[in-house]
Structure 1
């Protein structure tokens, strides 16, 4: 490149953070060149706006694989030191290995030839050029540390927090509180000038009460929230940049194809997808039911030998339909042990086959199916198989009213869950966030079962033994009428046969 072109490029890099990011990526990454996306430009324009304007507290929430750490925690500190080598920057993350990588790559950029050509006034002190803490000859520099590590004696003009809590700790109230408390006291106090210093928090959401949730009500913090898939038509503005994003738009269709997004939706627990990918976490214990109401077990007691299936079928079937589910419950008449949950979006025939497979595995005493919509069709389709079906009438009360009617069984600890199960996370998320949860199929199925248990006259939900045909009922035979044993009077003491007369 000629000297003239080098000077032009250097001038652009000093004025434009996005150009700087692309240059750093092309020179530092052992990959193909960086593709320009609207999300990348939005991040860069937002950071440049914070640098040049009056915004002093900025939060950026984006899903994984959007280069937010590369832009905000590697390139941005290097760019700031290029603009003003006396700037002091503190970079903090949950993991010391991660901050080591962030700081190392930032220092590599500063020491590169192209950077020195663009910012000749920025040079590192040769005797203070460690990986986690390096200084410029002008007194600025970068201190990289983990949350909770020593910051005493260190201050900065900028504090950048990159994923301050690990995903595995996000569901621990103790860990969340620890991070939030450290931020309010120890971390924010490290600004040399609280009125002029700036704080940048960049992270994927992990929990409704993570650091971003903790700061959500504070008007001094500006939030930029970019979900993987736009929930509604959205307009983002930063500086002179504007991004009009229609509902359903994927943030980067080349990094996340429509097929990948669908797989993520299906395979990720709902609360994980909503938090990490949609940046809209659900507070699990925000609903009617509380997580600590459920007892836990390792093995179902031997006396819980009765098996009940409670089914909730979606209004339609297929991969884009609402969920259908089958709860497999073992009971001793008092306690109810949830043994398995089948929950999926599937075609009708697949749901039927799954139900029959479960029946072969668990041999249910009764199968509860609401006699409406797909439930009616399922009852009809199961005629060739010997299953005791309890046809549940269409409910007249709301979902909330039905759950509240059996809440005493949940609150009393009569519903128990296994200590392990790949369905537990989804079950907890839905139960403990209802009625604000995006789905309620498992809630409906559990309410249906507990209502049936509480019903003093269950036989009004006529059980039908499928597989026995009669001309009178069109192929479905009602269970035979229950007649008291001749030796037993249900309303009085047992009757004994008369003693034989002596002759």
Structure 2
């Protein structure tokens, strides 16, 4: 490396890691309340503040924050954070990008106006650089450049890069061309302007599994991207970032009540709710299981060659965290019929009661497949002398492999579900369409277990099988 290049690299690193020359607000949230006393500081914003503080202290840090819309995330990251970072280090050169130049300018103007309105922060805007799209601090190297998606940033190095909502809406997210444009913007323009040690934060709502978040966490996974996803509603208490109880909604910066969250969930629909509000999008048509593959029976079949139950139990040691699912399946010639399903968050005694009830309702379903994991062995031990045909099933391979193995059956039109008006059928279709990116896979596991078994044991009682399940 030449001496000139080495000295330039050292200068850039020194600028980034230079200790703050100003005292000021301890967190971005503290600064937000100075800028706007009406700011509502929620537990979700506390988490974001902590993540941003850590990012700024971590060389080459990479952070993705996803959270429901209208809950203060963009204001915190695109306005409060850059102002707070400049108070800490006025020599930081910041690039802030968004899906459109207008939005980028609005963000840049908000940061500039906040600094200008609060001289007590210890920094001031330079007289000759006051445009919304580009301005600098008086007496320092630092400042902010705002760019819209696709805009060039040649000649503008970044000590900190902020990307706020690279996609505008569903229409853009569903366009492969625009998704490719976003990716090219990152690889060809933004990433090329990063100074040594410069951190990057992407703040967005999820629209599509192949959006910028999806690509960064797969194609650029080696960069060490940290993902902070804060869902509107708690799905897994054991891993919930806010430590909430099951199904509890987040404290809203807009003061939404639980009833208002419920109303929004209904009007959003399952696909939008899963993507924008829970942070795990799925293809509209589906992934391994396409939505339009499923057929529906309108009258229960009168001839049943082989009828079984298939159970996916809750994990041991968790209290009503996971769903328990029991399904009844039948095979007639080359076709497979889902006849019935029960699903709930049940403790062990309740699970035992549900197995008994389903067995009473479908006495012809003598074979009862129970995955040999979670509470499955305990269920079998408890009911072995009461109910016949309890079969422990040891899954082979991962969930995705097992799903792919049976996916040709619905694809060929050989799988029939109850009428679409049946209350639980739409949730079944939605879950399998979102697999493996959805928040739950209990219905998927029960269904793939049943289909695999019926495919290898077309008639007669269950016997030892081959394929992805061992029947033992």
Give TM-score, length-normalised by structure 2: 0.58
Partner of 1:458: 460
User: 2:125–2:136: 8 Å Cα contact kept in structure 1?
Assistant: yes
Identify if the C-alpha distance between structure 1 residues 350 and 366 changes in structure 2 by more than 3 Å, giving closer, same or farther: same
Name which one, 1 or 2, has greater alpha-carbon Rg.
1
| CA distance in 2 between partners of 1:211 and 1:319 (Å) | 36
Which residue, 50, 59, 62 being the options, matches 2:63? 59
SS at match of 1:201: strand
Shift of residue 27 of structure 1? 3.8
Shift of residue 49 of structure 1? 2.1
User: 2:74–2:164: 8 Å Cα contact kept in structure 1?
Assistant: yes
Partner of 2:334: 334
Partner of 1:22: 30
| CA distance in 2 between partners of 1:170 and 1:380 (Å) | 58
| CA distance in 1 between partners of 2:339 and 2:182 (Å) | 36
Which residue, 150, 160, 167 being the options, matches 2:162? 160
User: 2:95–2:162: 8 Å Cα contact kept in structure 1?
Assistant: yes
- 1:426 and 2:414 aligned: no
User: 1:62–1:226: 8 Å Cα contact kept in structure 2?
Assistant: yes
| CA distance in 2 between partners of 1:294 and 1:89 (Å) | 44
Identify if the C-alpha distance between structure 1 residues 173 and 398 changes in structure 2 by more than 3 Å, giving closer, same or farther: farther
Paired residues for 1:69-468 under 5 Å: 69-81=74-86, 89-94=94-99, 99=104, 102-112=107-117, 115-123=118-126, 129-130=131-132, 133=133, 135-136=135-136, 142-148=144-150, 150-151=151-152, 155=156, 157=158, 158-165=160-167, 174=176, 176-189=179-192, 191=193, 194-196=194-196, 198=198, 200-203=200-203, 206=206, 210-212=211-213, 214-216=215-217, 221-226=223-228, 248=238, 251-252=241-242, 256=244, 260=248, 291=288, 296-297=293-294, 300=297, 310-312=309-311, 314=313, 320=320, 322-327=322-327, 333-336=333-336, 342-346=342-346, 347-348=350-351, 351=354, 367=365, 370=368, 374=379, 392-395=389-392, 398-400=395-397, 409=409, 412=412, 414-415=414-415, 421-430=426-435, 432=436, 439=441, 442-452=444-454, 455-458=457-460
Spell out, residue by residue over 1:88-115, the C-alpha distance to the aligned partner (whole angstroms, 9 max, x if none): 5432234778656644532441231xx2
Spell out, residue by residue over 1:343-369, the C-alpha distance to the aligned partner (whole angstroms, 9 max, x if none): 322334884798599x7xxxx795465
User: 1:180–1:211: 8 Å Cα contact kept in structure 2?
Assistant: yes
| CA distance in 2 between partners of 1:13 and 1:169 (Å) | 45
Identify if the C-alpha distance between structure 1 residues 136 and 116 changes in structure 2 by more than 3 Å, giving closer, same or farther: same
Shift of residue 85 of structure 1? 6.9
| CA distance in 2 between partners of 1:170 and 1:342 (Å) | 38
| CA distance in 2 between partners of 1:249 and 1:402 (Å) | 25
Partner of 1:498: none
User: 1:294–1:413: 8 Å Cα contact kept in structure 2?
Assistant: no
SS at match of 1:448: helix
Unaligned runs of 5+ in 2: 1-18, 232-236, 251-257, 371-377, 464-472
Higher mean displacement: 164-173 or 180-189: 164-173
Per chain length, whose mean CA-contact separation is higher, i.e. which structure has more relative contact order (CA < 8 Å, sep 6+)? 2
| CA distance in 2 between partners of 1:119 and 1:40 (Å) | 24
User: 2:325–2:446: 8 Å Cα contact kept in structure 1?
Assistant: no
| CA distance in 1 between partners of 2:356 and 2:169 (Å) | 37
Spell out, residue by residue over 1:468-498, the C-alpha distance to the aligned partner (whole angstroms, 9 max, x if none): xxxxxxxxxxxxxxxxxxxxxxxxxxxxxxx
Shift of residue 428 of structure 1? 3.5
Identify if the C-alpha distance between structure 1 residues 453 and 75 changes in structure 2 by more than 3 Å, giving closer, same or farther: closer
| CA distance in 1 between partners of 2:315 and 2:98 (Å) | 45
Spell out, residue by residue over 1:194-224, the C-alpha distance to the aligned partner (whole angstroms, 9 max, x if none): 5458451233685776545544575884544
Shift of residue 74 of structure 1? 0.9
